[in-house]
Amino acid sequence: MGRVTSLLDRAGTPVPAPVLPPLRIGPLTVATPVVLAPMAGVTNRAFRTLCREAGRSTGFDPGLYVAEMVTSRALVERNEAALRIVTFGADESPRSAQVYGVDPATVAAAVRIIAAEDRADHVDLNFGCPVPKVTRKGGGAALPWKRQLFTDIVRAAVDAAAPYGVPVTVKMRKGIDDDHLTYLEAGHIAEGLGVAAVALHARTAAQHYSGVADWESIARLKETVRTVPVLGNGDIWSAEDALDMVRRTGADGVVVGRGCQGRPWLFADLAAAFNGSDVRVRPGLREVADVLYRHGELMVDYYDGDEHRGVRDLRKHMAWYLKGYAVGGEARHALARVSSLAELRALLDALDLTIGYPGADAEGQRGRAGTPKTPHLPYGWLDSRELDAEFEARLREAELSVSGG
Ligand SMILES: Cc1cc2nc3c(=O)[nH]c(=O)nc-3n(C[C@H](O)[C@H](O)[C@H](O)COP(=O)(O)O)c2cc1C
């Protein structure tokens, strides 16, 4: 990864102007307009640390790194796992948390906990979850369809955060399906309520993670939301994709999810690209193994020294890290079942660490994909944009069953 530390400006060559002006999220200024997407089970403190370190290694501002979502109810109940989600490293600044909720009062209470207890500097609201067990009850990406409820939740969050100067942003999908799009209206409502930015994952709930993100819709949102930044999200697999999205949509910044799974160094490429440098990280297997081991150590630290838990949580990252590297099925299999740092070290040391960067095989799409699915919705959900009492009761259950997405 040494290559990124020798950036143009340190070599004395003038660095070209940044691609975009700094991102302004309320009082926060993020010089490099790149955001790590919240990903449940992925963007915990350990992974964010690696991403931020990579971004920072360029010498440029590294961007914004959002924690995985926390459900408002769990946070209000001060559930241990929920409180762990909103912990940040000493060097994390700004600190971004994401809240998922379906009830305005509970969301407000959760936002108040984060803001009043100084647990984060920015709160994002999740309206993009497409998981059937959530949308079936009207939560996640199904929620903006109920316009008044969406309005009440966003208003409650903004009002709860305002006394503490904490900006609130909204992250959403295009809508439920192509016949029930909500993003332009939701973006407009959120802007009017005082959110500091809106981010669009340019897919519908029906698309899940399948097909290709519709960047055109990001351009449409940018035309609609004029007074706060619009962030584009979906299918950024490289720094070049990120620049391309900005060029094609006019977005004020990008949100990057699956593309960095097993590749935290993508944030070095992104920071470089947005600051006009064409330096890119192309790690050989030795460098990948070093990052992987460090990820393991950070995981153990995240779980307060519980080594088994930390290393077990690392298992899901193995295939992502090794994508494209010729390590053999046996090693992959063993790494995916690793249960201690010593075992991890031994397995990594046994690899042929002279293997170089495999090029395109290590790049491109990774993580969730799948096929389109007819969204599961409460019976009659699409008949009206208003919420009735029966739906309200179901929605409360939706919050209990959400686990990310
Ligand atoms: C494993 C995983 C977990 C996710 N968890 C969340 C989440 O907690 N909150 C959220 O708003 N979006 C979540 N998402 C959606 C991502 O933030 C992002 O919108 C989506 O992956 C599209 O961006 P990409 O094409 O760059 O991956 C998740 C996605 C994945 C793959």
pLDDT value for 23: 98
AA letter at 86:
V
When pLDDT is averaged across residues 55-80 and rounded to a whole number, the result is 96
The CATH number that applies at residue 341 is 1.10.1200
Same structural domain, 131 and 116: yes
Are both 187 and 118 inside the same structural domain?
yes
Q: Are residues 152 and 293 in the same domain?
A: no
Inside any domain, residue 81:
yes
Confirm whether 36 is domain-assigned.
Answer: yes
The per-residue pLDDT for 196 is 98
Structural domain contains residue 388: no
Q: What is the whole-number distance in angstroms between the Cα of residue 11 and the centre of ligand 1? A: 37
Query: Domain count of the chain?
Result: 2
Indicate which residue of 46, 74, 123, 129 is catalytic: 129
pLDDT tops 90 at residue 396: no
Indicate whether 174 and 26 sit together in one domain: yes
Question: Does the Cβ of 124 fall within 6 Å of ligand 1?
Answer: no
Highest average pLDDT, of 122-136, 262-276, 391-405, comes from 262-276
Q: State both tokens at 79.
A: 């559930």
Same-domain pairing of 261 and 311: no
The overall average pLDDT reported for the chain is 93
254 with 330, same domain: the answer is no
Report pLDDT for 6: 38
Q: How confident is the model at residue 393 (pLDDT cuts 50, 70, 90)?
A: confident
Atom 14 of ligand 1: nearest residue by CA position: 405
Q: 314 lies in which domain range? A: 285-358
Angle formed by the axes of helices 266-274 and 239-249, to 10°? 40
Give the mean model confidence (pLDDT) for residues 353-374. Answer: 92
Express each pLDDT in 158-203 by its tens digit: 999 999 999 999 999 999 999 999 999 999 999 999 999 999 999 9
Residues 345 and 210 in one domain: no
Domain of residue 261, CATH code = 3.20.20.70
Query: d(Cα 128, Cα 139) in Å, to the nearest integer?
Result: 9
Ligand 1 pocket mutation pick from 201, 320, 365 by most atoms within 8 angstroms of CB: 201
Domain membership of residue 124 (yes or no) is yes
* pLDDT of 7 above 70: no
Domain boundary among 278, 312, 329: 278
Residue 387 lies in a domain: no
**Same domain for 298 and 259:** no
pLDDT band at 12 (very low <50, low <70, confident <90, very high): low
Look at residues 278, 307, 324 and tell me which one is the last residue of a structural domain.
Answer: 278
**Domain end (from 219, 248, 278):** 278
**pLDDT at site 303:** 98
The DSSP line for 237-282 is: -SHHHHHHHHHHH--SEEEE-GGGTT-TTHHHHHHHHHTT------
Nearest of 245, 258, 170, 244 to residue 210 by alpha carbon: 258
Going from the Cα of 22 to the center of ligand 1, the distance in angstroms, rounded, reads: 24
233 Cβ closer than 6 Å to some ligand 1 atom: yes
What distance in angstroms lies between residue 129's CA and the mean position of ligand 1's atoms?
8
Q: Which two tokens stand for residue 315?
A: 């298992």
pLDDT reported for residue 109: 97
Question: Does ligand 1 have an atom closer than 6 angstroms to the CB of 368?
Answer: yes
Q: Which of 39, 34, 30 is nearest to 257 (CA)?
A: 39
What is the predicted pLDDT for the residue at 404?
Answer: 55
Strand boundaries in 296-354, DSSP class E: none
Provide the pLDDT for residue 403. 57
Whether residue 231 sits in one domain with residue 122: yes
Looking at the fold, whether 129 and 236 belong to one and the same domain comes out as yes
Domain for residue 333, yes or no? Answer: yes
Same-domain pairing of 54 and 177: yes
Please confirm, yes or no, whether 129 is among the known catalytic residues. yes
CA nearest ligand 1 atom 12, residue = 405
Convert the pLDDT of each residue in 98-133 to its tens digit.
Answer: 999 999 999 999 999 999 999 999 999 999 999 888
279 to each of 197, 243, 267, 274, how far by Cα in Å? 29, 14, 12, 11
Domain co-membership, 35 together with 156: yes
Q: What is the pLDDT of residue 369?
A: 86
Q: Is 198 inside a domain boundary?
A: yes
